[in-house]
Structures are given as structure tokens and as C-alpha cells.
Structure 1
Amino acid sequence: MGVEDKTQPIIVKKKVVQGGHHGGSWKVAFADFALAMMAFFLLLWLLAALEADERAALSEYFQNPSAFEGEAMAPSQAIGDGTGADPSIIDFEGLPDRHDVPPEPSEADETLLEEDRERLESLQEALEEAIDRSQALEPFKDQLLMDITPEGLRIQIIDAENRPMFATASARPLEHASGILRELAGLINEVPNRISITGHTDARPLQREDYTNWELSTDRANAARRELIAGGTEPEQIARVVGLSDTVPFDRDNPEAAVNRRITLIVLNQEAEEAMREGIETEATPPADALDAPED
């Protein structure tokens, strides 16, 4: 009788680990990516098709994206605009059309502006050389200041403590002041640009109730105009004569300083002259209600 084999068979159970099921999510992500790229390239194509002024207007619109006039609520409004949103350049129904985009300067305009700047810079150099050569102007060299400003070439004739340009509290120019202005006139006449004349005083009040620094500064500016004309300046070349009293001091820390008493001549550049002309034309235009008023 045989021996019974009691050995139990060893059963190995294999655990099958199934791979994760990816499904179709990657296809959705890829489709979104492809759609985004198509939209991006379409945007680039549309931007390339726009004119330069339209691109500028579109950029300005996104800086201040309000569809209405008034103060914009978005913090992206450009500093200094103060007018709220700009209309869109695209004709969406219900939104205003953009009509106030200033035209970009043409190459011809840029050339004229560059020639204007070069002309004023050359005038400044000529004036500085003339002052160095002139025996009449040499003693007053420190009282003649010149620089280029956004309006043009500025020439300031300032008082010194012991060498004023005008008689005390008077609009009568002293002899050397007349000589300076007439010498300058002969040089300024070399350019066609028009001239602005401004009178300034210090903060010391005058001893007259009926005559203030406002009248004095204006009268001194007008006296300077007469001296320029006497020196050969054409009357039509004078664009503006104003008096600013003591409101724009040269020395802000000392309102009564002698340097605050001065005459400022500005040989206007083309942009400043055009802006001044537009301002005069605007002031000369009667209000709309006056145009519609019935005649008596």
C-alpha cells in the first residue's frame, strides 16, 4: 500500500494591474490649443491689415476701453486724457465711430519740422556769436539768456541788481535796453518765424492804486515790441504781446529778486505758431447760440 502524498499544491495568483484609461481628454486639450493658435494667427493677420492710424486708435481704445464719454472707471486710462473713452475704430452697432484720431505727420511734415528746429538752433548760435563780438552787447552778456523750449528759441533779457532794463516803475526802456533789443531785431529778422513777447515784474507792489504790475509788465512788453520794430522787425512778425506781472518768477525762492524783472522773446517754431493761430481762431468764433440768434 503506497504512502499517500499529502503535499498541497502551491497556487500562485497573479495580480493583473491594468493600465489607466486615458480616454479622450488629451484630444479636447489639443483641440483647444489648435483653436487658440488659429485665433492668434488670425489676430496677427487682422492687425497687419490695419493702417498705422487705425492701429494707434485700437491701442488707445484698449488703454481706455469705455464706450461712453466721461471719466473712465478703468485705471488704465492714459494720464492727462481726462475725457473718458475713445470711440472704437470698428463699426460695431450701437457704438460711436472714431473720428478724432489726429493724423500722423507725413514725411514732408517731419522734414519741415526738422528744418524749423535746425533754423532755430542756427539762430541761437548766430546770436551767441554776435553777442561775443558786439562791444555794445558784451557788458550785458550775463543778462541775456537763450535756450530752446517746446515753443521755440527763448531769449530772456533780465535785470541785474544795479543794471535794470527799464526806469524804476516805468515802461520807458533805458538806452542800453533799447540798444540790446534793436541789435537782437537785426539778427532775428534773418528767420521768417514769428515772435512772442512777454513782460515780467518782481513781486514788489507799485505805489499807485490805478497802476499795478499787470499794467507795468504789459506796457514793458509793448515797449519791447516798439524797439524791435525800430530795429527792423516787421510788425506782422509779432505774434503775441502779453504781460504776466509777477506770476511766473525766474527766482521762485525770492519773488522780489531783480532777475524776475525781465522781457522774454520767443522765436516761435512752426508747431507753436499753428497752435496759437488755432487758439485765436477758436476765440474769434462766436458761440452757436449767437449764430442762431434772431436779428433785431
Structure 2
Amino acid sequence: MKRNKFEVPRTTQPWLVTFADLLMVILILFVLLYSYSDTDFESVTDSFQNHNRSSSPEKGGGDGAAGSNEEKSSDDEKESSEGENTVPEEYEDQLEEMIKREKHIKEILDYVKTYAVEHDLEDKMTVTPTEKGIEVVLPEIMLFPSGKADLIKEAELFLNDMAPLIAEISNIIEIEGHTDNRPISTERFPSNWDLSTARANVVIRYLTEKHKLDPDRFKAVGYGEYQPISSNDTDEGRSKNRRVVLIISNEDISK
């Protein structure tokens, strides 16, 4: 049975996950503290004590006293309920927006995973959490012909499906171009710097011009051959190094 190698590797900074969870807990704690800050706890305590007196057989009191205590208890509970604040609307909006953003990012990652499985690219197409954000590595073979920066038909279809998903979030998207170490010297691309940068630009231009995504959200950078992820001594290694990396940044343009 073929092992599914499309797994999210563990981050090199595992403490970031715990730190992010801690920040979320602190945020929720402060929201809850704020929501209960105006609660009349003395009224709640009096209501509880009055209820105990009315239900205690030693205290007696008859039907009239019981009815009076019940009315007072009901009034106290009503006042307590009215004094209790809900979560402030500004926090509700922030939490709702954060949940929506995480949902859309998950949809993007699910789509990438499905695409990799359907096109037998599980060994080359990976998703990695980093300090920058979520990195989606796209191999050259699914985007460009060798030594060129013209999107192939399959790449356009892939980006056509990705565009609506990216449009649903406001995160900054960074596109990185990478090559292997084999030299290139053409009229259009005098070096690997030029080729890698051109490829990143082509992906961004397709998303912004074809699908009208906000150009302010995108960054393009070309690293040439200088950030390999595998050895350039083998064909397999060079193939892995020829890639485009789509980074869903932690940075949100709406902030």
C-alpha cells in the first residue's frame, strides 16, 4: 500500500504552536472577564440565600412568605440577568472573522492536497507551516516548461481553482521563484535570478489580471538557485529545487 506522503511536517519552531494557543486562551479569558465585569454578584448571592430560606422547613413562613420570597428571588434573578453583559460586539466580529479566515485557509489546503493526490504529485507538492505562514510548494512540472516562464494549461486550471479560495481571505500572499543550479543565459533570462523572479511575477499577474485579485496583497521574490531544498547533484534533487512557493502569510492586509 502506497504511503500517503502528503503530510504537514512539524514546524522547526514547535513552541510557536503552544504560544499561539496561549494567546488565544488569554484573549478568550479577557473577553469573558469583560463580559462578566458588570454582573451584580451581590444580587445573585442574595437571591440564592432567599431561595434557601423559602425552601427550608425550619424557617416556616407559610404560603404568603414563600410567595414573597419567590417573587423577590425572581426579581433578583431578573436584575442579575439584565446586569450580565454579553461578549462585546467588537470582539464577536473579530472572533467571527478569525474563524472565517481559518476556514478558508483550510479549504485552500484541502484543495491543494486533493490536487496533489489526483495528479500524483504527493512527493513534490507539499504544505509546510513556517514562521512566515503556510508554505505551499508547487513543482516546476505543474507550472512551467523547463527554462521558461510561460504558464502551461494545467497551471492555469490550477490557479483558476485557487483564485476564488484566495479571494476569500485577506492574508498577504507571497510568491517565491526558485531554480536549480544549472546556469541559464538567454536573451530573456540572462541568469537564474531573472528566471525565478519572472516565474513569481507571472503567477501574480495571472491572479491579479485574470481574476482581479487585489495586487496590494501580493509580493514577488526570486531566489534563483540560492535556496535549494535538495541536492543539485542528482536529477531528482534538481527537480525538487525548481519550484514556486506560495506562502499564505500570517500578515493580514485588513489590519
Checking the alignment, whether the CA contact within 8 Å between 2:231 and 2:238 is kept in structure 1 is: no
Deviations 1:121-165 (A, max 9, x none): 53443124334666x983164243212211112111113xxx452
Q: Match for residue 135 of structure 2?
A: 154
Structure 2 residue 161 is matched with structure 1 residue 180: no
Q: 1:260 aligns with which of 232, 241, 251?
A: 241
- Give the structure with higher Rg (CA): 1
In structure 2, the residue corresponding to 1:197 is in which secondary structure? strand
Count of residues paired in the alignment: 166
4+ aligned runs moved over 3 Å, structure 1 = 106-124, 131-134, 207-210, 252-256
5+ long unaligned stretches in structure 2: 1-22, 32-90
Q: Match for residue 229 of structure 2?
A: 250
Deviations 1:18-49 (A, max 9, x none): xxxxxxxxxxxxxxxxxxxxxxxxxxxxxxxx
Structure 2 residue 172 is matched with structure 1 residue 191: no
Deviations 1:61-95 (A, max 9, x none): xxxxxxxxxxxxxxxxxxxxxxxxxxxxxxxxxxx
Supply the distance in 2 between the matched residues of 1:113 and 1:153 (Cα, whole angstroms).
21
TM-score for both structures, normalised by structure 1: 0.46
Q: 1:231 aligns with which of 186, 211, 214?
A: 211
Checking the alignment, whether the CA contact within 8 Å between 1:182 and 1:227 is kept in structure 2 is: no
Cα distance change, pair 150–113 in 1 and its aligned pair in 2 (3 A): farther
Deviations 1:177-224 (A, max 9, x none): 122223222211111111111100111111438710000000000001
Deviations 1:242-284 (A, max 9, x none): 100011112146476111111111111138x79xx9xxxxxxx
By how many angstroms is 1:118 displaced? 6.2
Cα distance change, pair 126–244 in 1 and its aligned pair in 2 (3 A): same
Supply the distance in 1 between the matched residues of 2:151 and 2:184 (Cα, whole angstroms).
18
Supply the distance in 1 between the matched residues of 2:99 and 2:127 (Cα, whole angstroms).
15
What percent identity do the matched residue pairs reach? 27
Cα distance change, pair 184–107 in 1 and its aligned pair in 2 (3 A): same
In structure 1, the residue corresponding to 2:148 is in which secondary structure? coil
Structure 2 residue 110 is matched with structure 1 residue 129: yes
Supply the distance in 2 between the matched residues of 1:259 and 1:188 (Cα, whole angstroms).
25
Cα distance change, pair 249–118 in 1 and its aligned pair in 2 (3 A): farther
Query: 1:269 corresponds to which letter in structure 2?
Result: N
5+ long unaligned stretches in structure 1: 1-103, 278-296
